[in-house]
Amino acid sequence: MTYTADLGAVSAVLHPEAAQERAVMGSGTVGRFVAPGTATGGRFGLYEWRMPARAGGPEAHFHRTFSESFYVVSGTVRLYDGSGWIDGRPGDFLYVPEGGVHGFSNDSDAEAVMLIMFAPGAPRETYFRELAEIAATGRTLSEEEWTDLYARHDQYRA
């Protein structure tokens, strides 16, 4: 039990959609920071991932300190569950515990939208901002620089 008072608290906080930060990846994918860990006391982070047609996605990877979950809102998202690729359709949910190899991509000819949740609320917005900045500036990273970037953000190639 984490709340022990006898009466409920007035503690809900609205985060209007218009005020939520966005990051644009090199593929044109727009990540919207719906509820980053800073907004949830580190309990979880929730992001909307709006991927244009043929946007691709990250290669297979894993995280050591947080789980990642995917909920397909619209379109078809290719999800890698560690053993193979499956087509995720609206309403499908994939949970990946710490250490679980996973990946995702939009290989279809239509936009796909999904929600990504990290638990606990790792500061993934820092990672997403960095990826967006690399894409926006056209900067090219060496393999060593990519490995360092991933390690700083608890992301390891599988």
CA 7 to chain centre: 35
Any idea what the CATH number is for the domain that residue 137 is in?
A: 2.60.120.10
Express as a percent the part of the chain with pLDDT over 70: 100
- Spell out a b/e string for 95-130, using b for 16 or more CB atoms within 10 Å of the CB, else e: ebeeebebbbbbbbeeebbbbbbbbebbbbbebbee
Round the average pLDDT of the chain to a whole number and report it: 97
* 14 within domain boundaries: no
| Structural domain boundaries enclosing 143 | 19-157
* 5 within domain boundaries: no
* 44 within domain boundaries: yes
What is the total count of domains within the chain?
Answer: 1
Measured distance CA(15)–CA(10) in Å, rounded: 16
Look up residue 14 and give its two tokens: 């609205």
* 41 within domain boundaries: yes
Q: What is the pLDDT of residues 111-148, one digit of tens each?
A: 999 999 999 999 999 999 999 999 999 999 999 999 99
Averaged over 17-28, what is the pLDDT? 97
* 4 within domain boundaries: no
Confidence at residue 85, expressed as pLDDT on a 0 to 100 scale? 97
